[in-house]
Amino acid sequence: MKTLVCLTLAVSALASPALSFAQLAPSPLTRAQVRAELVRLEQAGYSPSADNAYYPVDIQAAEAKIASQDSQQLASSSVGGSAQKGSTQAGARAHAAPVRSVYAGH
């Protein structure tokens, strides 16, 4: 009985750090989220089925285009009205969140 208790305590002590690290991982994307991101990339000019000799360049260009669209949309919808050059407004400008790639974490 004493051996069983010691073995149980040893296993739980070794397993607890591994389980605590599992909570730090980002939540996985759903299939619908990945599909929606792929549709946005295709609308931005990326073609995954094309014979691509310039693969990293064209997907990065599409992601940059989406990021600029998101930042423009965020700037126009933020508090204080439209963002115009040369104008001053109270408060801080909102920053866009970075675009997460379809292939992030793989």
Domain count for the chain, please give it: 1
| Amino acid (one-letter) located at 29 | L
Task: pLDDT tens for the chain, 106 residues: list them.
Answer: 778 766 676 666 666 666 555 556 677 889 999 999 999 999 998 887 767 777 788 889 999 999 999 998 888 876 655 555 555 555 555 656 666 777 766 6
What CA–CA distance (Å, rounded) separates 98 from 93? 16
Q: Which residue has the tokens 């970075």?
A: 98
Q: Are 103 and 67 in contact (CB under 8 A)?
A: no
53, part of any domain? yes
- Residue 71: inside a domain: yes
39 within domain boundaries: yes
Kindly report the pTM of this predicted structure.
0.47
| Domain interval for residue 35 | 28-76
Residue 54 lies in a domain: yes
